[in-house]
Chain A
Amino acid sequence: MSECCATPQDVILLACSGGSNVGQISNEAAKSLDQLGQGRMYCAIGIGAGLGPFIETVQKADVCVAIDGCNVACLKKALDNAGLTPDVYVVVTDYGIEKGHHFEITREQIAEVADAAAKALAERAGTAQA
């Protein structure tokens, strides 16, 4: 994570990282947000596996950002099963990106999703301060 502009809050970034273009866009968007100091990417699969320490880390975080690839919403369901609710929730297909079993993704697609999550985080921070 870029320490220069790192958020002072403990923001956990989770991505579905699924086996499709939109799953991989979710992964790259979460990575980008981590690298740009918006939070730290964490292991969604650990939460899906029901591992206590992983669930506890998300429970203790200030903010949980979840990026699902599509409306199957695997990540959201995994979080639900663990008793967790994301503070910011983004679905890649909501941005006009059609899901397909291929990995041809563009930087523009990643940027759009990362930007959506970043804006939602900023809005939330603005709301929290008000």
Chain B
Amino acid sequence: MKITVYGPGCAKCKHTEELIRKIIAETGATAEVEKVGDIREMVKAGVMSTPAVAVDGVLMMAGRVPRPEEVKAWLAG
């Protein structure tokens, strides 16, 4: 599973990445996390608000930090 966190870089974007990494560590899930701050990649991905999160290339949410239960649900597949 590949989780992509989109955001040019700010407190909420960093918090989103940290939260996801923390939950992966806590649950022992197998997932790779990448952070994308490049405007070109964000526009290509259809990101219209940040922070945004995609799971295996599918945008799951945007414009806020995800709730822990949302992240757990993504990891559970």
Contacts and interface: CB of A to CB of B under 8 A. Distances in A.
A107 B10 contact: no
Contact of A111 (B43, B51, B63): B43
A93 interface: no
A9 to B, nearest CB: 14
Secondary structure at the A interface, as helix, strand, loop or mixed, is helix
A4 B12 contact: yes
Interface in B1-51: 7-13, 38-44, 46-51
A4 B39 contact: no
A96 B43 CA distance: 18
B63 A118 contact: no
B39 A35 contact: no
A5 B42 contact: no
Contacts of B63: 2, 4
Contact of A33 (B7, B39, B41, B44): B39
Contacts of A108: 44
Contacts of B38: 115
14 contacts: A2-B50, A4-B11, A4-B12, A4-B13, A5-B8, A5-B13, A32-B43, A32-B48, A36-B39, A37-B8, A38-B39, A107-B43, A111-B40, A111-B43
